[in-house]
Amino acid sequence: MVEAYAPPHGSITPVIIVGAGPVGLLLALRLAQSNIRSIVLEQDTTLGAAPRAIGYYGPVHNVFKEAGIYDQVAREGMPSGGYVWRTLPTEDQTGTKALGSVLCRNIMSRPDSDGQYKICTYSIQLAQCRLAEIMLEELTKTGLSDVLWGHRVTDLSQDESGVTVTAVSGEREPKSFQGLYLAGCDGGKSNIRKLLGIRLAGHSWPERFIATDVLRTAPVVEDPPVHFTVDPRYWGVVTPLEHVEPGVKGLWRYSMAVPAYEEAEDGSRIFLTDEEVVEPKYVNSLLLRQIDGPRPSDHVVVRKSLYKMHQLLASTMHRGRCFLAGDAAHINNPIGGLGLCTGLLDADALHQALEIVRRTIDPQTLFSRYSSERRRVFQNIIHPYSSANKTRLHGADPEDTAREDWYFQALRKGDPKELASINAPLYNNWRSDMWSLIGTSLKGI
């Protein structure tokens, strides 16, 4: 028997959102700020705490500003006015390691005289789990969304008038939920995508990737504080997760490639299972290649997660009254912070579409445009940018990369017009202005 869920404000909820990660919560928050009610169904019982995305920049800042959370995100996060590419740390005779030599720098901006960066000109480093907490706090204040934890969607149906989903919670009887629209923001393994029969296409990278949140005392904090490690085997990304100072223990993220194999003393190759890779001893061996400072190192691993990396895109992000956003619709490797940022901009575009649909009699044209526009952004901008970001870290000898890579050559040349042209897609075309895209093609707006 399936029990019908009775929302406190009528039998049909305008929007059902599946997934209480940052993408789903941002969508719910923006809808609430437009006085559109929603229900958020999340299969986990709490917000996720695993190490995931950390960097937010470009037009995402404007979305945060419009959602009323930019000031808090900027205050809590660590600002970075650019990025540095380095070799692996080097070791002296005492065993102390120093940060690797600089191969190239990308200085996006400098702070003003008051120490603050201008919005959209820098990157904010803040753990995804904390970003989700901030969004949930703001959403709760609106009183216009019910977040139901521990509810896993098992079925859905739709017709011309709405969408019905069935969700199970623990050992209780299944519940049915009715809404006008449904947004699947439930991650890379999206059950909504599967129930809609939408396929992902693309490829998977051969390497595994481990993300670790680490408490450590950094002997130095360089400006910019974020760096990429360029190495054929042990490439990675190092970034603070909060405001950090030299000589003071703080939280850092070390995201590191897991080599396909390790070499034994006899020269044979040892292939490690996923279970062996996350063993503390092996994780520590990777970290000690990346962490600068004296030995023994004082670092403590707080959290860790092992990932496989993909470049995948859904065949559509819209079917009937149902939509996909974030990792449910597209997955790319994490180098450069393009994954969650793109998902947040999906939520922004979908919020606009659900605002517009209240004023138009031609919703399918609008919804089709949402799908085609966000898929275009992934295919033409995010996929090539993120793929280049990754392969730049391990595609050649570090010194050869520093000398020969076209992007590094442009950064060294420092021509403002050339760099503006290179970065234009991420600043001018990453966010979708659905109001402008629709223009006069719909009546009644």
Whether residues 103 and 233 share a domain: the answer is yes
- Kindly report whether the global pTM for this prediction surpasses the value 0.85: yes
With the CA atoms of 411, 414, 418 and 335 taken in that order, what torsion angle do they form, in degrees rounded to the nearest 10?
20
- Phi, psi dihedral angles at 94 (to 5 degrees): -85, -5
Answer whether residue 395 is part of any domain: no
Q: What is the pLDDT of residue 10?
A: 59
Q: Confirm whether 413 is domain-assigned.
A: no
DSSP state, 273? P
Domain boundary, last residue among 309, 327, 344: 309
Query: Does 373 reside within a domain?
Result: yes
Domain stops at, among 260, 294, 309: 309
Q: Helix (H, G, I), strand (E, B), or coil: what is residue 190?
A: coil
Q: In this structure, are 221 and 289 located in the same domain?
A: yes
Give the DSSP letter string of 61-118. HHHHHHHT-HHHHHHHSEEESEEEEEPPPEE-TTS-EEPPPEEEEEE-----TTSPPP
Pairing of β 102-107 and β 82-86? antiparallel
- Tell whether 325 and 344 lie within a shared domain: yes
**pLDDT band per the 50, 70, 90 thresholds, residue 5:** low
Residue 57 lies in a domain: yes
- Cα–Cα dist 160/56, whole Å: 38
Shared domain for 346 and 262, answered yes or no, is no
Is 55 in the same domain as 162? yes
pLDDT tens digits for 176-220?
Answer: 999 999 999 999 999 999 999 999 999 999 999 999 999 999 999
How many domains is the chain partitioned into structurally?
A: 2
User: pLDDT > 70: what percent of the chain?
Assistant: 96
Asked if residue 221 and residue 163 are part of one domain, the reply reads no
In a domain, 408, yes or no: no
- What's the mean per-residue pLDDT of the chain? 93
Q: Are 244 and 225 in contact (CB under 8 A)?
A: yes
Residue 406 resides in a domain: no
**Same domain as 364, residue 259:** no
Q: What is the mean pLDDT of residues 419-432?
A: 92
Q: What is the pLDDT of residue 52?
A: 87
Q: Does any domain span residue 208?
A: yes
Average pLDDT for 6-17: 77
Tell me, what CATH number does 323's domain have?
3.50.50.60
Task: Identify whether residues 215 and 304 lie together within a single domain.
Answer: yes
Query: Three-state DSSP class for 251?
Result: strand
Q: Same structural domain for residues 327 and 345?
A: yes
- Residue ending a domain, choose from 280, 309, 338: 309
At residue 15, the pLDDT reads: 98
| Distances, alpha carbon 278 to alpha carbons 51, 260, 265, in Å | 14, 14, 22
| 445 part of a folded domain | no
The stretch 231-242 carries a mean pLDDT of 95
Assess whether 133 and 46 both reside in one domain.
Answer: yes
As a whole number of angstroms, the longest Cα–Cα distance in the chain is: 75
Three-state SS at 233: coil
Residue 332 sits in the same domain as residue 359: yes
Name the burial class of residue 289, with classes exposed (0-12), middle (13-18) and buried (19+) by CB atoms within 10 angstroms of its CB.
middle
CATH classification at residue 246: 3.30.9.10
- The domain in which residue 184 lies consists of 3-69+126-202+311-388+418-438
Question: Across residues 342-362, what is the average pLDDT?
Answer: 92
Over residues 279-300, the pLDDT tens digits come to 999 999 999 999 999 999 999 9
**CA–CA distance, 288 with 293 (Å, rounded to integer):** 10
Residues 163 and 48 in one domain: yes
